[in-house]
Structure 1
Amino acid sequence: MSKPGDDELALIISWVIDQKDRKSFSQVCKQWLNVESQTRLSIRVFEPELLHKFLPRFPNLLTFESSKRITNNHLEIIATTCPKLEFLNFKQQSVESQNLVGFDDISDFDDVGVLAIANGCCKLCEVLFRRRRRVGNVGVITLVKCAKSLGVLDLGRCSLINDSSLEAIGSMNSIRALNLEGCSLITDKGLTFLATGSSSRTLKRLVLAECDRLTDFGVSLLQGMYCLEELNLAECGPKVTDYGGMAVASIASLKRLNLSWLINVSDVTLVAISENCRNLVTLDLTGCEMISGAGIRAFGYHECLESLVLASCDNICGDDVDMVLKCKSLRSIVLDKGLKMWIPKRMQENISRFCQLHWR
């Protein structure tokens, strides 16, 4: 029997999914090690300081992930070694962030590293920088200009990002999902760029949670984004009222909407949403203290709503919830745990027969 060539080995390992099995494959001999390295498409790195030793083995990577602290030098190595990257995940997990006592931002990458990635990895389609607090406008602007196929960008908790980045993002033709949660420097001007630029025709998911400088004016501009399917305005502050809510209600394409803790949004907005957003599947109204049963009952005959969150809604009573059960599509409802003692057991059982009942 002749010795299998690299092509045959590559075909064999293409069927091996388990990482432990791939590791065993690579330990057979140098030839098998080389084939495994050349065909590796994804990697998750826990020790970035060792990148220079092992990364050159994997020139065809499409996916790179690391939630650890990583320096500009490391990003330069990645950009030089892995030009085919399409998915880059540097998302810092919240639990890990809390456990990193004395986290030193200086040791983490900044715009210098992002520039290296932007210039070296122009095929990027998805980039996650969540909680990388040194990422700023210079890096993001260059990234969106170089990565022409970039469709997903997560800048959540990147506190240096402001309207300048949104101006560049607004001119993109490929962006489908954008996370700006906690980017508190963003203003209505930034939303103007998103709502009037090329991005308005491609964005399907937009997260603006905790962008508390936004007002009704900026939010009202979002009604021009006719492809938007998911919008998160949670905790955007008291300057978002029914005026902005009515504009949001005119986005007929919406499927998921989060209005949590918008204390100046009332039943007027809910009635408009129930009438105009006929494709809506999930609605989160946590902490919307001005809404009442009148707004909730408007969804009694909605044809698509599957999930409704009403935690910390003090003006909702058991009878209001009972009316929502006319909504045949409803699969899950979340109520404030303070209501539990006031809703009769029989009513709770009746609700549970039609959909999942959760208390928060």
Structure 2
Amino acid sequence: MSPKRITNTHLEFIAKTCPKLEFLNLNLKQLSVESQNSDGFDEVLDFDDVGVLAIANGCCKLCEVLFRRRKRVGNVGIISLVKCAQSLSVLDLGRCNLINDSSLEAIGCMILIRVLNLEGCSLITDKGLAFLATGSSSRTLKRLVLAECDRVTDFGVSLLQGMCSLEELNLAECGPKVTDDGVIAVASIASLKRLNLSWLINVSDITLVAIAEKCRNLVALDLTGCEMITGAGIRAFGYHQCLDSLVMASCYNICGDDVDMVLKCRSLRSIVLDRGLRMWIPMRMQENISRFCQLHWR
């Protein structure tokens, strides 16, 4: 991971000298404004599709490519990359905010893609999700990050139920257009192990009941900021066989009795609660919870 500017010239040099390259990490380390100024980072001079095209044409054996926060990377470069690098299995485009549905159409045709990070790619819509959910990628993707893709709706999210191998899905902060209707459809993905629903304010208890019943392999669930959920939804996990981690920060309709009931889930090892609830849960109950799993406050 680099905190420095990388130019098209740099990538052209790599393409010419490293034709057998399999792993390329050009993620941009997140810096404060002050750090960027002191380090002389100039986003305008950073590499763009010209450099990515050089990599695509010169390094066809790539298996993993990480471009997070490289804001000048666009559809032209990515489409060429995924077509040339047939062995590509990991692609990180987080915060590459020029990426839209055109790139997802090409990615949807990939036959080996396992991990795809699209965090903060706010131009992506339901059309792009349809490409992922109906193409070759639907059979191979195991981890998909859609956090902050706030143009997607229940329609697009519902299509993801066709991803038969998906183990991890991050829908955090996808906005108010993702509701119970979309997430209940996702709950039918039997292979899901990790699900992040943080700050989906229109997700309620009915979704939790569906997840508890259908996602029998789920080990981690993040419900941070899901303000509509109550103890009724949480209690649905009381007899879940696999759940290991449950995050409920900024969930204000949960009480100590609800958490106590969830402890019937003997696989549970970690619970995160909002720190504002600490004074309302009796110390004896906190101690009882802590005997069975780690109790964290956030």
Question: What TM-score does the superposition give when structure 2 sets the normalisation length?
Answer: 0.97
Q: Give, as a single letter, the amino acid of the residue that structure 1 aligns with 2:71.
A: R
Distance 2:34 2:21 in 1: 29
Contact 2:5 / 2:42 at 8 angstroms: preserved in 1? no
Residues 268-310 of structure 1: CA deviation (Å, up to 9, x unaligned): 0000000000000000000000000000000000000000000
Work out which of the residue numbers 258, 267, 281 in structure 2 matches 1:343.
Answer: 281
Contact 1:214 / 1:239 at 8 angstroms: preserved in 2? yes
Partner residue, 2:192 = 254
Contact 2:22 / 2:64 at 8 angstroms: preserved in 1? yes
Distance 1:79 1:346 in 2: 63
> Is residue 160 of structure 1 aligned with residue 84 of structure 2?
no
Partner residue, 1:286 = 224
Partner residue, 2:183 = 245
Structure 1 alignment gaps of length 5 or more: 1-64
Secondary structure in 2 matching 1:257: strand
- Higher RCO (Cα < 8 Å, 6 or more apart): 2
Secondary structure in 1 matching 2:241: coil
Distance 1:309 1:315 in 2: 14
Relative to 1, partners in 2 of residues 1:98 and 1:147: Cα closer, same or farther, differing over 3 Å?
A: farther
Distance 1:234 1:111 in 2: 28
Partner residue, 2:11 = 75
Secondary structure in 2 matching 1:298: helix
Secondary structure in 1 matching 2:271: strand
**Stretches (4+) displaced over 4 A:** none
> Is residue 93 of structure 1 aligned with residue 57 of structure 2?
no
Structure 2 alignment gaps of length 5 or more: none
Contact 1:67 / 1:90 at 8 angstroms: preserved in 2? no
> Is residue 319 of structure 1 aligned with residue 235 of structure 2?
no
Distance 2:111 2:123 in 1: 24
Structure whose CA Rg is larger: 1
Distance 1:208 1:244 in 2: 14
Secondary structure in 2 matching 1:132: coil
Distance 1:318 1:151 in 2: 43
- Give the number of equivalent residue pairs: 296
Secondary structure in 2 matching 1:84: coil
Q: Give, as a single letter, the amino acid of the residue that structure 2 aligns with 1:93.
A: K
Distance 2:33 2:179 in 1: 33
Percent identity between the aligned chains? 83
Distance 2:99 2:82 in 1: 14
Q: Give, as a single letter, the amino acid of the residue that structure 1 aligns with 2:124.
A: I
Q: 1:68 Cα deviation (Å)?
A: 2.0
> Is residue 359 of structure 1 aligned with residue 297 of structure 2?
yes
Work out which of the residue numbers 152, 155, 167 in structure 2 matches 1:214.
Answer: 152
